[in-house]
Amino acid sequence: MSGTSGYAFDDISEHAGGRFDALESCYDPVSSARLADLGVGPGTRCLELGGGGGSAAVWLADRVGPTGSVLVTDIEPRWMDGLPGCANLRVVRHDIGAEELPEGGFDLIHARLVLPHVPERRAALDRLVRALRPGGMLVLDEFDCGWIPVLASPSPGAAELFEKTHEAVMGIITAAGADMRWGAHAYAALRRAGLTDVASATYAESWRVGSPGARLHQVNIRRLGGRLPEEGLTEEQLEQCLRLLDDPDFAVNSYPLITTWGLRP
């Protein structure tokens, strides 16, 4: 994670690694396929912003080869301490919400689920654009958390409980300064930032028992559990929701992951 002055989660707790694992299991294949389609290859100079557990950065380092390079940043980089040694991969502590980047230094900048949590995300986006070389590409993978229908439920009450819990989780994150619909706003933001050839594509799937997505919901509930009673939920309701996510009769649509990209003129 990077730029976390408005981040509702803390990335030093024992739950952070579980959240990174769930996100990587869900979305690494989506991100890597999209980046490959967009032409990332040997010799590309890359920035992976908010590297989390580092899996996307490792994929990039392998993809760009010895003639390319990958700088991966995070405000809390300790989750990348165990990354395999790669001569073309460097990890740096950095906060995109407050700190500049080398101007014109990158052919590709990729960020997944970072800018929604940066309250001054427009200024952060301008920093990213300045860090691209002319013709360089910015690629953002972002959620639109406003559309997450329950697909199957053991009872109407169970579906309502999940929706109430999810609304409470989103309320806490939004109160910290996040934009949980940033995926739907990124296209216009990239155009306003001066990028050209802006385009987007969306990925979604079902999440059910045993899936990384169900684990992601459970991790988020546990990480914010101490604050959720302030949103009108009892501890018993939270435990019921956690058990519901282990129920084979329950399924929910994933957050749509909207990939948006554009070129610096």
The pair of three-digit structure tokens given for residue 202, joined into one six-digit string: 């969306």
Residue 84 CB contacts under 8 Å (≥ 6 apart), including other chains: 58
| pLDDT beyond 90 at 141 | yes
* Greater pLDDT, 220 or 137: 137
pLDDT the model gives residue 7: 55
Q: What pLDDT digit, counting tens, does each position of 205-241 carry?
A: 999 999 999 999 999 999 898 899 989 999 999 999 9
CA distance 116 to 130: 19
List, as own/partner pairs, every contact residues 161-167 make where C-beta atoms lie below 8 angstroms and the sequence separation is at least 24, other chains included. 161/237, 161/240, 161/241, 161/244, 162/241, 162/244, 162/245, 162/250, 162/252, 164/232, 164/233, 164/237, 165/221, 165/228, 165/233, 165/237, 165/238, 165/241, 166/217, 167/231
| pLDDT beyond 90 at 8 | no
| pLDDT beyond 70 at 5 | no
Per-residue pLDDT band for 58 (boundaries 50, 70, 90) equals very high
Per-residue pLDDT band for 175 (boundaries 50, 70, 90) equals very high
Highest mean pLDDT among 22-31, 49-58, 131-140: 131-140
DSSP string, the chain: ----TT-SS-TTSHHHHHHHHHHHHHHHHHHHHHHHHTT--TT-EEEEES-TTSHHHHHHHHHH-TTSEEEEEESSGGGGTTPPP-TTEEEEE--TTT----TT-EEEEEEES-GGG-TTHHHHHHHHHHHEEEEEEEEEEEE-TT---EEE-SSHHHHHHHHHHHHHHHHHHHHTT--TTHHHHHHHHHHHTT-EEEEEEEE--EEETTSHHHHHHHHHHHHTTTTGGGGT--HHHHHHHHHHTT-TT-EEEPPPEEEEEEE--
CA distance 226 to 221: 9
